[in-house]
Amino acid sequence: MTTNSIIVEQAELKDLSWSRLFGNEHAVELEIGTGKAGFLLRRAQAHPDTNFLGIEWANKFYKYAADRMARWGMANVRMLRTDADYFIKVVCPRESLSVLHVYHPDPWPKKRHHKRRLIQKQFVDAAVACLIPGGRWAVQTDHAEYFNAIRPLLLEHPELDEVAFDDPVFGVAEARIATNFEIKYLREGRDLYQIAVRRKA
């Protein structure tokens, strides 16, 4: 397995087809903001018959994650460096994701920067459209104010119902996902805020 076989090229995003990208019809999970991809790697190892796409904008983390997946021979993982907002709104096939993972998105804490936040109403609408009926979406952040903005966007959406964050569907053990950010923040004593939802069937 080479790094090149893990990386999704921009040309492959035109009329994106999961079956063409992965070469099979397996269920697809997407993680936005993989960091060093510790969670994605464990998840893919535990579910070899599921396809996983990781999106990471930070170039050094993106390259690290792609190389890591290649070294581990993860045939069911692809890595993509792109703008996640654009991907969800424009590229992602509708009703195609079984699970969406969004852990520790950039909170853009200054009020004048809030418009740059990923999780806003239009993004939520598009993300819900990308989920299959019954598909799950999990979000975790260490930023209370951002969480208080995210929570009503999900809970008030007419097509979403809240579910347990440690639902086995997400691969979350005892409400811990063990991303690099989570490990760091717990070590620092920060509170973590979690929510999970399901698209109504």
Q: What's the rounded mean pLDDT across residues 11-16?
A: 93
Predicted confidence at residue 178, as pLDDT, reads 54
Amino acid at 150: I
For the chain, report the end-to-end CA distance as a whole number of angstroms: 37
97 Cβ neighbours under 8 A, 6+ residues apart: 28, 29, 30, 130, 131, 132, 135
Question: How do 28-32 and 97-103 pair as beta strands?
Answer: parallel
Residues marked active site are found at: 106
* pLDDT given for residue 2 in this prediction: 81
**Cβ contact 101:119 at 8 Å:** no
Considering only residues 32 and 201, tell me which one the structure prediction assigns the higher pLDDT: 32
In the chain, the domains with their CATH numbers are 3-199 (3.40.50.150)
Spatial separation of the C-alpha atoms in residues 138 and 171, rounded to whole Å: 10
Q: How confident is the model at residue 175 (pLDDT cuts 50, 70, 90)?
A: very low
CA nearest neighbour of 199 among 162, 169, 173: 162
Please, which pLDDT band fits residue 4 given cuts at 50, 70 and 90? confident
For residue 184, the model assigns a pLDDT of 67
Region 184-198 average pLDDT: 79
Q: What is residue 73's three-state secondary structure?
A: coil
Q: Residue 84 — very low, low, confident or very high, per pLDDT cuts 50/70/90? A: very high
- pTM flag (> 0.95): no
- Side-chain half-sphere CA neighbours of 186 within 13 A: 11
- Transcribe 94-116 into DSSP letters: TT-EEEEEEES-----SGGGGGG
What per-residue confidence (pLDDT) applies to 177? 55
Separation of alpha carbons 134 and 130, rounded Å: 11
Question: By C-alpha distance, which of 190, 199, 86 is closest to 134?
Answer: 199
Structure tokens at 101: 């993972």
